[in-house]
Amino acid sequence: MSAPGVLLIEDDDAIAAGLVRVLQGQGHQVDRLALGRNALEAARDDVGLVILDLGLPDVDGLEVCRRLRHARPDLAILILTARDQELDVVAGLDAGADDYLVKPFRLGELLARVRAHLRRAGDDSAPFEVGEIRVDVGSRRAWRGERELALRPKEFDLLALLIGSAGRVVTRQRIMEEVWDTAWMGSTKTLDTHVATLRQQVGPETITTLRGVGYRFELT
């Protein structure tokens, strides 16, 4: 079976041409749509990642995102927004997007995210390894270089969740749901405290705070 491909939905011809060239240069199979209305038909089973511009001329990008998520729960969706607004980002993540980039973005940043998303389709049981951090979910052990980390249970769960989504934002809501088993949206001081202690173990640069949104484990 060939590697999952990328579907790019972007109305700006100049941006799209540049992205297609760069992605193809990295060996990815890429299809491009300039409009959103045929997104569902184009997101065939061999597409593993959709890069979706939210500002499309024919349909609301958020609606496209919702429909794609509904039709293909396993699909990775990376939204592009020109509007540097927290609300758009949050609305996009609520509509089912896995990740976002705000224009203008660095191509290196985009390529790192694309690699991370397409790798997710690979073997789930393999240990996660990003930079000098390695996490084996099966044995619940984690290392920084040669040194094994002494993590409390929630710190381990948090690390596993973040590194499993390395390069992508994980929302505070998702962390609360998956690590603390609660949709509690009030004060999340406990979460901040755990991130702070985790950072001491994995290195402060490793986990980025996206204020009001969540956290991202950085690809190196």
Residues that bind Ca ion (CB under 5 A): 11, 53, 55
| Cβ at position 165, least distance to Ca ion in Å | 26
Angle at alpha carbon of residue 153, lines to 215 and 197, rounded to 5°: 50
Cβ distance to Ca ion smaller for residue 55 or 127: 55
Cβ distance to Ca ion smaller for residue 55 or 164: 55
Cβ distance to Ca ion smaller for residue 13 or 94: 13
CA torsion through residues 81, 86, 87, 89, sign: positive
| Cβ at position 113, least distance to Ca ion in Å | 19
| Cβ at position 19, least distance to Ca ion in Å | 12
Q: In whole angstroms, give the CA distance from residue 90 to residue 97.
A: 9
- Coil, helix or strand for 43? coil
Q: In whole angstroms, give the CA distance from residue 137 to residue 93.
A: 26
| Cβ at position 122, least distance to Ca ion in Å | 31
Cβ distance to Ca ion smaller for residue 6 or 175: 6
Cβ distance to Ca ion smaller for residue 53 or 88: 53
Cβ distance to Ca ion smaller for residue 105 or 184: 105
| Cβ at position 183, least distance to Ca ion in Å | 33
Nearest to 100 by CA among 48, 146, 169: 169
| Cβ at position 211, least distance to Ca ion in Å | 25
Nearest to 50 by CA among 85, 90, 95: 95
Q: What torsion do the CA atoms of 186, 179, 145, 112 make, to the nearest 10 degrees?
A: -80
Peptide bond into 153 cis (omega under 30): no
Measured at CB, which residue is nearest to Ca ion? 55
